[in-house]
Chain A
Amino acid sequence: MEKKDKDIPLRSGGLHVVLDIMTEVERVVTEELETHPRFPDLQNRLGLIRFQRQDFEGAKNCFEKALLVNPKYQAANSNLGFSLLELGRIDSAEAVFREALKTERKAHALNELAVLRLRQRMLLEAEGLLREAASIEPGNGLYPHNLAVALFLQGKIREAASSLKDTATLCAPYSQIFAEAILFDEDRLSAEAYREYLNRQEMNPCLSELHDHLGHALAANGFLKEAEVEYCVSLRTMPSLANYYGNLALLYSAQEKEQEALSYYLRAVDAEPDSVKARVALAFEYSASGLATEAMRQFEAAKALKPGYPDLRYNLGLVYLELERTEDAVQEFRAALNSNPNYLFARNSLALVLFENGKLDEALAEYERVFSEGLLSSDILVNIGIIYREKREFGKAVDSFNQAIRLNKEYARAYYQLGQTYQAMGQRKRARRAWKAYLERTHDEAEAADIRKALEEEQFEE
Chain B
Amino acid sequence: MSVEDYRINAFVRTVFVRRWIDTSRVDFGTSNGVVYVRGILRQVYGRKQLEDEKDEDETSLLSLVRRIEKEIRSIPGVRDVVFRLDNFEKTGGKWKRRIKTFP
Contacts and interface: CB of A to CB of B under 8 A. Distances in A.
Interface of A: 19, 24-25, 27-28, 32, 35-36, 38, 41, 213, 216-217, 219-222, 250, 253-254, 256, 258, 284-285, 287-288, 290, 292, 295, 314-315, 318-319, 321-322, 344-346, 348-349, 352, 356, 374-380, 408, 411
Given A290-B4, A344-B29, A284 B13 contact: yes
Contacts of B38: 344, 375
Contacts of A32: 42
Nearest to B24: A41
A41 B44 CA distance: 13
B82 A376 contact: yes
Contacts of B49: 24, 27-28, 217, 221
Contacts of A314: 29
Given A376-B82, A377-B82, A216 B27 contact: no
Residue of B10, B31, B49 ringed by the most chain A CB atoms within 10 A: B31
Interface of B: 1, 4-7, 9-11, 13-14, 17-20, 24, 27-34, 36, 38, 42-47, 49-50, 79-80, 82, 84, 100, 102-103
A408 B9 CA distance: 22
B6 A287 contact: yes
26 contacts: A24-B45, A25-B45, A36-B102, A38-B103, A213-B44, A217-B44, A220-B20, A220-B45, A221-B46, A253-B14, A253-B18, A254-B17, A287-B6, A287-B9, A288-B14, A315-B9, A318-B6, A321-B1, A322-B1, A322-B4, A322-B5, A345-B28, A349-B5, A375-B82, A377-B34, A377-B82
A117 to B, nearest CB: 35
A358 to B, nearest CB: 15
A321 B6 contact: yes
Given A287-B7, A290-B7, A374-B84, A216 B31 contact: no
Contacts of A321: 1, 5-6
A315 B6 contact: yes
Given A220-B43, A253-B17, A377-B36, 17 more contacts: A216-B45, A221-B45, A253-B18, A288-B7, A295-B10, A315-B9, A319-B6, A321-B1, A321-B5, A348-B29, A374-B84, A375-B38, A377-B34, A377-B82, A379-B32, A379-B34, A411-B80
Given A213-B44, A220-B47, A322 B34 contact: no
Contacts of B45: 24-25, 28, 213, 216-217, 220-221
A458 to B, nearest CB: 31
Contacts of B6: 287, 292, 295, 315, 318-319, 321-322
Given A322-B1, A346-B29, A377-B82, A24 B100 contact: no
A35 B84 CA distance: 18
B87 to A, nearest CB: 9
Contacts of A378: 80
Contacts of B10: 284-285, 287-288, 295, 315
Contact of A379 (B13, B42, B79): B79
Contacts of B102: 35-36
Contacts of B36: 344-345, 348, 375, 377
B17 A221 contact: no
A318 B5 contact: yes
A373 B1 CA distance: 24
Residue of A38, A258, A344, A376 ringed by the most chain B CB atoms within 10 A: A344
Contacts of A35: 100, 102
Given A25-B45, A216-B45, A408-B80, A288 B11 contact: yes
A349 B80 contact: no
A36 B27 CA distance: 17
B20 A318 contact: no
Contacts of A380: 34
Contact of B31 (A38, A290, A379): A379
A258 B79 CA distance: 25
